[in-house]
Structure 1
Amino acid sequence: MHALGMSASNSGFIGYPVAAMVLGTSPAAIFLALNMLIENLLIIPAALILAEAGRQSGAGIVTVARKTFVRLVRNPILIGLALGLLLAITETSLPRPLTQVIEMLAGAAGPAALFVIGGTLFGLQVRGMLGDVGQIVTGKLIFHPLAILGFFLLMPQADPALLAGALLFACAPMISVYPLLGQRYGMAGISAAALMAATLAAFVTLSMGIWLMDLFGLLPMR
């Protein structure tokens, strides 16, 4: 769960708006789609698989695999991802009334998540969790962008525009549902505190990242 907080960015609410202002709407939309694919199909499922497997520590491999699979197929997040992927691959169009219901739920999901996060933070004692929160926030806002930069430097003839987009999204704080995912594994308080701290600190680190990218000529001329 710590690794999830360090690697999954808030691409929709922070990464895309910032990238749209810095790089333009069209490139930002492409980068948003690429980030959503990796986060929803790789990072989040992998983190949940590892977290569920970690609950079965001490058991045999077959038992761990069986219990992990049973819990994952009941996980509403993975069920939603699987249904969305299936509809996208088959290009299936849902009936209009059902689409309206889904759009209403999607619009209410963000405020509802913030309400839950706020309730989790109320009365939270940060003493004893500063080390975990500091590790997650530092990993997300500093080491995640540096890791992205390092991988791009290893790639021959990397596209500067693609590097700029990757760095902008990597500089964003973690996904807003991170505390909801952490709650399932007894980390509601730590994940909520990490989200709040990372979101506040991102105002500084993201601005510094944009300034450094502009200083080294990574941002395309507009």
Structure 2
Amino acid sequence: MESFLVAVNAVVPFLCYITFGYVMKIKGVVKEDFLQQLNKMVFKVFYPFMTFYNIYKADASSLPRPVMLIFCGISILVLEVILVLTVPRLVKENPRRGVIIQAIYRSNFVLFGLPLTVSVFGDVASSVAAMVVTVVITIYNTTSVVILEMFNSEGKTDVKTILVNVVKNPLLQGAMVGLVFFFLGIHVPKSLLTPIAAFADATSPVALFVLGGTLHFNAIRGNLKYLVPALSLKLLVLPAVMLALGYAFGLRDLELFLLVAIYGTPVAAASYPMAQNMGGDGELAGQFVVISTVVAVGTLFGWIFFMKSVGLI
């Protein structure tokens, strides 16, 4: 029951933000054209602050085992390669290909995985989890840009154009600056760090508010053929496969739980504004975020209960 409440407490705020945005649009308080402009602002301004701050504040005093970082990095990259090779064979529409690939491999590790990890293992796990976040988020932010550029609405995959757009991507720019400050030990004055932290904290609520306001439920039925198999793979199959592989590679306890936090949490909220602004199917991306957030209440409880029952944590 405690594990279930942990999952619920992590998910319900997200549902509240989405519902609030949807109600405000229905009431006429905000118009969809305003929300689209706000969406661009979230993508170009808020998310760079969040990626910078998440990396900058990581605690270097408690590092996870190298095998854990290597396993996480390689497993994500291998999964992406498999998806890039297989999804285009199954999905005809180019804008949907990148969105589906991103939905399967990219999770809301920062906002779901970290609270769950600390709740199960205590504050002692926060530093280890934060360093894993640094690796995972850096890979997410880099590769997601490349994948969305490969499968944009124009169908262009020119290498030069992709590289230029990767370098210009706001999320990646924030992450790169954060890594520079982190590794060089550059100190940000509190007078500047406070507003940076405030913008970072506001990113997900605003992004999910916009998502709720631009969500069209009548379109979900038409996308079920993409939503059901992709989310089944993401929330059920991938965590099982990664737990088995992680155990085989010698990962135990907290390390195994972090794999569930990486692969079994809902689709990253950032995937929605990225798809909207980079030629992907933004509507489908938003539906992935909303539905995975709801379904994850049950699946996360199931994984936590299973791992405790068999003695993995």
TM norm structure 2: 0.62
Pairing 1:182–2:280 present? no
User: CA separation in 2, counterparts of 1:29 and 1:126?
Assistant: 39
Paired residue total: 213
Provide the C-alpha distance between the structure 2 equivalents of 1:2 and 1:32, rounded to a whole number of angstroms. 27
Task: Give the direction of change, closer, same or farther, for the CA distance of 1:124–1:99 in structure 2 (3 Å limit).
Answer: farther
Separation (CA, whole Å) in 2 of partners of 1:98 and 1:32: 22
Confirm or deny: 8 A CA contact 1:31 1:166 kept in the other structure. Answer: no
Report 1:82-93 matches (<5 A). Answer: 82-93=176-187
Distance 1:144 1:32, change over 3 A: farther
Match of 1:217 in 2: 311
The equivalent of 1:202 in structure 2 is: 296
Say whether the 8 Å CA contact 2:252–2:312 is kept in structure 1.
no
For residue 120 of structure 1, what is the aligned residue in structure 2? 214
For 1:28-43, list aligned pairs within 5 A: 28-34=126-132, 36-43=133-140
The answer to whether the 8 Å contact 1:179/1:191 transfers is yes
* 2:101 match: 3
Other structure's SS at 2:221 match: coil
Q: Mark the runs of 5 or more structure 1 residues left unpaired by the alignment.
A: none
Alignment of 1:149-188 (within 5 A): 149-155=243-249, 157-183=250-276, 184-188=278-282
1:110 matches 2:204: yes
- Contact 2:148 / 2:280 at 8 angstroms: preserved in 1? no
Q: In the alignment, does 2:113 pair up with 1:15?
A: yes
**CA deviation vs aligned residue, 1:170-221 (integer Å, no higher than 9, x gap):** 32112222211221233211111111111111111111111111111111xx
**Shift, 1:144, TM fit:** 2.2
Q: Any unmatched runs of 5+ in structure 2?
A: 1-98
**C-alpha displacement of 1:168:** 3.8
- Tell me the alpha carbon deviations over residues 58-86 of structure 1, each in whole angstroms, 9 at most, x when there is no partner: 76xxxx22111121222111111111111
* Mapped pair 1:44 → 2:153: no
Instruction: State the Cα RMSD in Å.
Output: 2.1
1:136 to 223, 226, 230: 230
Q: Deviations over 1:130-183 (max 9, x none)?
A: 11222332122112202311321431x433331133224432112222211221
One-letter amino acid of the counterpart of residue 171, structure 1: G
Q: Which runs of 4+ in 1 moved over 6 A?
A: none
Between 194-203 and 68-77, the greater mean CA deviation after superposition: 68-77
* 3-state DSSP of counterpart to 2:222: coil
Q: How has the CA–CA distance of structure 1 residues 192 and 54 changed in structure 2, closer, same or farther, with 3 Å as cutoff? A: closer
Cα 1:192–1:150 change in 2 (3 A) is same
Contact 2:235 2:296 in 1 (8 A): yes
Note if 1:25 corresponds to 2:120. Answer: no
Cα 1:50–1:162 shift into 2, 3 Å: same
- The one of the two structures with greater contact order (alpha-carbon pairs below 8 A, sep at least 6) is 2
Distance in 2 (alpha carbons) for counterparts of 1:205 and 1:47: 25
Measure the CA separation in 1 of the matches of 2:108 and 2:216: 23
